[in-house]
Amino acid sequence: MELIVLGSGSCIMDQTERACASYLLKYDGKSVLIDTGAGMTRKLSRIEESHQDIDAVVNTHRHPDHVSDLIPFIQNKLVESIYYSENEEDITLYGPEGHSEYVESRIAYEMNESIDSLNENNSFEIKVVEFSEGSVTNYPDLECIEAVHGGSEFPCYSLKFETDNYSIVFTGDTDFHDRLVDFCEGVDLLVADCSMPDDHKVEGHMTPSECARISSSANVDKLVLSHLYPEADNIDLRSRVKADFEGEVVVAEDLKEISL
């Protein structure tokens, strides 16, 4: 299992080196995008792995720093298939309740198309699958629990990918909560929302101490600190977390590869 960080930052625009949330996960012949935040497509173009192998996209929620580049990603696929006869594999877009309507409306507004018309007139098929708590239709390796992100009319989910050999959780945007600790129990890798330092706690996101607390309580093997706002970026995050967590700690950077 291999994780490539495409975007480790936040919506704050002065983070020149960090795109918004996005990760590429490769395992067992699958290639899955987790979130498609602003700037993701440019980062994807800078890695060696072919973006044409991506067969699934999973969005945790609808905030722009997690979903903005979804339609540019689809546009790229459409144009590559029409102009170059490339990138013609089917793709499934997974997201929370309302994702179908969201994708359909953006494709209609930005591309003057419907998903049906795209599927009829092109060599690949787009499927949209919505999920809620629990297992996910058509994706047996994936399980979800609702995050505690607050302040939104739409939900956010934490995601767990689990096979016989490895398990990885992406917290999505969330505050600390006890169900998340249970969800992370014994996972090999936890990619955690570490938005703000302890002295600038904001609701709906976690601090380094909270990331350490989850990882320690859940016996996580390796912790990746991500979704960093500039305030978190400016402190020694690793040392702060290592004080309360004995496992391996990685501070995410765009284009960093993390193997399991």
Which positions touch Zn ion (CB under 5 A)? 63, 65, 173
What minimum distance in Å lies between the beta carbon of 206 and Zn ion? Answer: 12
- Residue closer to Zn ion by CB (options 148, 237) is 148
What minimum distance in Å lies between the beta carbon of 13 and Zn ion? Answer: 14
Q: Cα–Cα distance between 258 and 1 in angstroms, integer? A: 9
- Residue closer to Zn ion by CB (options 194, 237) is 194
- Residue closer to Zn ion by CB (options 70, 78) is 70
- Residue closer to Zn ion by CB (options 12, 118) is 12
Q: What amino acid occupies position 213?
A: R
Query: For the chain, what is the radius of gyration of the CA atoms?
Result: 18
Strand 139-146 with 2-7, pairing: unpaired
For the chain, report the end-to-end CA distance as a whole number of angstroms. Answer: 5
What minimum distance in Å lies between the beta carbon of 125 and Zn ion? Answer: 29
What minimum distance in Å lies between the beta carbon of 147 and Zn ion? Answer: 9
Q: Cα–Cα distance between 26 and 4 in angstroms, integer? A: 8
- Nearest 5°: the CA angle 146, 3, 1 is 100
Tell which residue, 142, 141, 145, has the closest CA to residue 133: 145
Q: Cα–Cα distance between 76 and 86 in angstroms, integer? A: 10
Cβ distance 194 to 211 under 8 Å?
yes
- Residue closer to Zn ion by CB (options 65, 143) is 65
- Residue closer to Zn ion by CB (options 1, 145) is 145
What minimum distance in Å lies between the beta carbon of 201 and Zn ion? Answer: 16
Q: What amino acid occupies position 158?
A: S
For tokens 């997974």, the residue is 94
What minimum distance in Å lies between the beta carbon of 228 and Zn ion? Answer: 11
**In degrees rounded to 5, what are phi and psi of residue 190?**
-125, 120
